[in-house]
């Protein structure tokens, strides 16, 4: 018997998300249509709606769809049941305790406006840090953040041409403002294995970031050590960088 309270379009969209989860890989509109017995036009409209809200993402090269980052972001409310949060917690706490500076863990989001942002999913924070968007779930533009640059440098299917149509926001006199400058910066990040936000988002604040890599190649998250420039860039600056990179290597090795 059909439940008269069920909204068919919502029911179909949820079934589609479950189908994509079970598929475990990118799927085409044709494949979804055939397996679910739904018209292609209906599949297309449903996916377009889900994509606009970040629940699915489309690979521009294959024209196939997979689950989007919004589902992961919503899942962060479950707390430590999220695998990456549980995995990084002892490392993040150790970094915080060693240097007495804020440690944040972020993942990549490309929102419905085609802007790359980092989304904070975990933090270890003290009362000394300069504060800006420091709550779990907060978002920051990738072009001016250490974790953001790491995520852009080591993620798949990054299309920097979006910045040709949507100019980067200038936060300080140090903010990267052109696609060419960003490409050069990301190549540097790939070569050295870490990134620095040198007062690019807020004057007086410096962040060091390093990526957590799956299979040694692709970023699933990034960790940053942040604080006032005078403290971060003191005589222990290089030790902070080395320690952060060591930590992310250890986490990455556990993901192999």
**How far apart, in whole angstroms, are the C-alpha atoms of residue 93 and residue 131?**
19
pLDDT, tens digit, 9 for 90 and up, residues 208-252: 999 999 888 889 899 999 999 999 999 999 999 999 999 999 999
User: Angle at CA 153, nearest 5°, toward 217 and 182?
Assistant: 165
Contact 227, 202 (CB under 8 A): no
**How far is C-alpha 28 from the geometric centre of its chain's CA atoms?**
24
Give the pLDDT confidence score for residue 84 in this predicted structure: 78
Share of the chain above pLDDT 90, in %: 55
Range 8-67 has CATH code 1.10.238.10: no
Task: Report the distance separating Cα 166 and Cα 116, nearest Å.
Answer: 11
Q: Tell me what the pLDDT averaged over the chain comes to.
A: 86
Q: Among 94, 86, 57, 55, which residue's Cα sits nearest to residue 71?
A: 55
Of residues 90, 141, 132, 88, the one with CA closest to residue 111: 141
Categorize the per-residue pLDDT at 111 as very low, low, confident or very high, splitting at 50, 70 and 90. low
Q: How many Cβ atoms from other residues are within 10 Å of residue 149's Cβ?
A: 29
CA atoms 216, 219, 223, 227: torsion sign: positive
| Higher-confidence position of 138 and 239 | 239
**Do 53 and 46 touch, CB atoms closer than 8 A?**
no
98/92 Cα distance (integer angstroms): 10
Specify whether the CB–CB gap between 49 and 83 falls below 8 A: no
Asked if pLDDT for residue 197 goes beyond 70, the answer is: yes
Class of domain 78-254: alpha beta
Place 157 in a pLDDT band, splitting at 50, 70 and 90: confident
Q: Is 77 helix (H, G, I), strand (E, B) or coil?
A: helix
How confident is the model over 121-125, as a mean pLDDT? 83
Q: Give tens-digit pLDDT for 30-87.
A: 999 999 999 999 999 999 999 988 889 898 889 999 988 777 666 554 444 456 777 8
φ, ψ dihedrals at 211, nearest 5°: -85, 150
Q: When comparing pLDDT for 2 and 141, which is higher?
A: 141
Write down the pLDDT at residue 214.
Answer: 84
Q: Which pLDDT does position 135 carry in this prediction?
A: 74
Residue 130 has pLDDT above 70, yes or no: no
Residues 6+ apart with CB under 8 A from 149: 142, 143, 185, 186, 189, 195, 197, 209
What is the Cα–Cα distance from 114 to 78, expressed in whole angstroms?
27
User: Which residue ranges make up each domain of the chain?
Assistant: 8-67, 78-254
- What 3-state class would DSSP assign to 76? helix
Q: In terms of pLDDT, which residue wins out, 79 or 145?
A: 145
Q: Which long-range contacts (CB under 8 A, 24 or more apart) does 15-18 make?
A: 16/43, 16/46, 16/47, 16/50, 17/50, 17/55, 17/56, 17/67, 17/71
Average of per-residue pLDDT across 14-23: 88
* pLDDT tens digits, one per residue of 86-97: 788 899 999 999
N- to C-terminal Cα separation, the chain: 47
Kindly report, residue by residue over 161-193, the tens digit of the pLDDT.
888 888 899 999 999 999 999 999 999 999 999
For the residues 14-36, what does the mean pLDDT come to?
90
**What's residue 89's pLDDT?**
87
């Amino acid at each position: 018997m059909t439940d008269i309270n069920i909204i068919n379009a919502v029911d179909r969209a949820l079934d589609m998300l479950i189908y994509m989860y079970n598929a475990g890989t990118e799927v085409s509109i044709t494949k979804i249509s055939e397996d679910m017995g739904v018209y292609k036009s209906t599949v297309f409209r449903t996916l377009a709606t889900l994509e606009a809200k970040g629940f699915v993402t489309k690979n521009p090269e294959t024209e196939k769809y997979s689950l989007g980052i919004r589902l992961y972001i919503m899942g962060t409310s479950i707390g430590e049941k999220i695998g990456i949060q549980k995995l990084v917690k002892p490392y993040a706490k150790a970094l915080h305790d060693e240097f007495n500076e804020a440690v944040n863990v972020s993942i990549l989001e490309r929102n419905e406006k085609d802007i790359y942002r980092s989304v904070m999913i975990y933090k270890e924070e003290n009362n000394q840090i300069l504060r800006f968007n420091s709550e779990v779930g907060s978002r920051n533009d990738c072009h001016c953040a250490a974790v953001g640059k790491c995520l852009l440098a080591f993620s798949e299917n990054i299309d920097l041409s979006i910045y040709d149509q949507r100019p980067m926001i200038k936060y300080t006199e140090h903010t990267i403002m052109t696609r060419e400058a960003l490409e050069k910066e990301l190549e540097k990040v790939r070569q050295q294995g870490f990134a620095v936000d040198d007062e690019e988002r807020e004057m007086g604040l410096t962040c060091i970031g390093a990526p957590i890599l799956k299979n040694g190649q692709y970023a699933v998250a990034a960790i940053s050590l942040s604080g006032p420039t005078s403290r971060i860039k003191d005589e222990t600056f290089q030790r902070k960088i080395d320690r952060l990179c060591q930590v992310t290597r250890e986490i990455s090795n556990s993901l192999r």
